[in-house]
Amino acid sequence: MSYNPMSVDDYEAIQWLEEESKNLPALGNAWTILKAYYEECKQELKRIPTEPSPFENINEKMNVYGLAKEVLSNDSFMKECEEYFGISKEMLSSLILEKSNDSEKEWMVAKVVRFYNMHLKLGHSARITYIAEKELEHVPESHNSDLLKRTVLLSALLHDVGRFYQAAHYNDLSDARMKKNEKKNDGTRSFLSSIGGFMEVVQSTHVGAYGFIIQDGRIALIKKARGGYKGLLDIPGGGIEHNETPEDALKRELMEEAGVTVSSYQLLTATSRTFSWQVEDNLTEDLHHIGILYRVEVLEDSLKEEPDGLDSNGCFYYDISSLHASDITPFTKEGLEILGYTIPE
């Protein structure tokens, strides 16, 4: 299979991943779990009650019905949909034209679209893993260890796991209707209530790409404006969006947060940590944070010092020799140590 990220077919990627999983047991186990979770979501989707209506307003309904028209063109998926839900291509086409306000018929259309979203995400998980494996070919041999390969591929594969639940149920976990239907556990996210305290704990996984910009003993860091690292200095970067490669995410995030154009990059490592932080008075997030870290070169000398209105309160250069572990995020410290710097506590 030749490598062109834009032309990699999801089904080809799944076939490749099936074969690669035989060579990397850890990857195989994760892929098996992901497929099992996909099947579990299908079962749960099938059990969702058909009332009340899945739509809060007419705009939401029209959006879903528009997506349903696109689904009709995928014959292989519609065959699977008919086998699983009993909804044929002809039936779905009729439901789309009818646009009935009957909640049972609305749910038939909604379930097909949500099932299709899950179907796409499974293929995307395989494809982004395939792309990650090919990107590893560019890593210098001295840095390209089996551990690095396993970490990067697992990080890529797990990127979309936490989104299957939302694909199945359409609404975010905090939606009142999902609480009403008692959908509280999806395998990667769950709401738990502490006895008497009514404290909600949400488990989530976040995968991001981050860049180390270092010039003359100084490193570009943003001042975190929100989240579990609020108030700390952090390397610019952020989450990998749907259908986006880690490198594309790196370039986009560094332009958004630091105002710089990436001219070259080198993969340092992929790492992760889990920690909890209080989002609100009655809500705590148990976050599994996965970071793909790069050493980057940029075209500009200056940085974007104004806040971006989201994560950053401005990006500035700091003398590495003046940094302490208590001032920076764990990923920042880990990356600097990989690059040979010693960061005191």
* Same domain assignment for residues 59 and 130: yes
* CA distances, 305 to each of 274, 315, 319, 331, 338 (Å): 30, 5, 16, 21, 27
Which are the contacts of 292, defined by CB distance < 8 A and separation ≥ 6?
Answer: 152, 155, 207, 208, 209, 210, 246, 250, 267, 270
Residue 233 sits in the same domain as residue 99 = no
Averaged pLDDT, groups of 10, the chain, 345 residues long = 49 76 70 73 74 81 86 84 87 90 88 80 70 62 54 55 41 33 34 34 83 95 90 93 89 93 93 84 78 94 85 92 94 95 92
Looking at residue 9, what is its pLDDT? 65
Contacts of 308 (CB under 8 A, 6+ apart): 256, 257
Which has the closest alpha carbon to 2: 12, 184, 261, 257?
A: 12
Q: Which pLDDT value is given to residue 195? A: 26
Q: What is the pLDDT of residue 19?
A: 81
Q: Tally the domains of the chain.
A: 2
Shortest CA distance to 271 belongs to which of 287, 256, 245, 292?
Answer: 292
Say which CATH number the domain at 277 has: 3.90.79.10
Query: Which of the 8 DSSP states describes residue 57?
Result: S
Strand partners, 205: 288
Are 312 and 257 within 8 A, CB to CB? yes
Residues recorded for the chain: 345
Q: What is the pLDDT of residue 10?
A: 66
Domain that holds residue 118: 5-173
Instruction: Note the pLDDT of residue 342.
Output: 93
CB < 8 Å & 24+ apart, contacts of 86-95 = 87/111, 87/112, 92/68, 95/68
Token pair of 93 as six digits: 């086409």
Helices (H), 136-223: 146-157, 164-169, 176-180
Single out the residue in 146, 173, 200 at which a domain terminates.
173
**Do 159 and 199 share a domain, yes or no?**
no
Q: Are residues 106 and 10 in the same domain?
A: yes
Strands 233-234 and 218-224, by their bridges, are antiparallel
Predicted model pTM? 0.47
Cβ-based neighbours of 145, under 8 Å, separated by 6 or more: none
Q: Are residues 125 and 69 in the same domain?
A: yes
Indicate the SS3 state at residue 92. helix
Q: Is residue 181 part of a domain?
A: no
Q: Judge contact between 93 and 42, C-beta under 8 A.
A: no
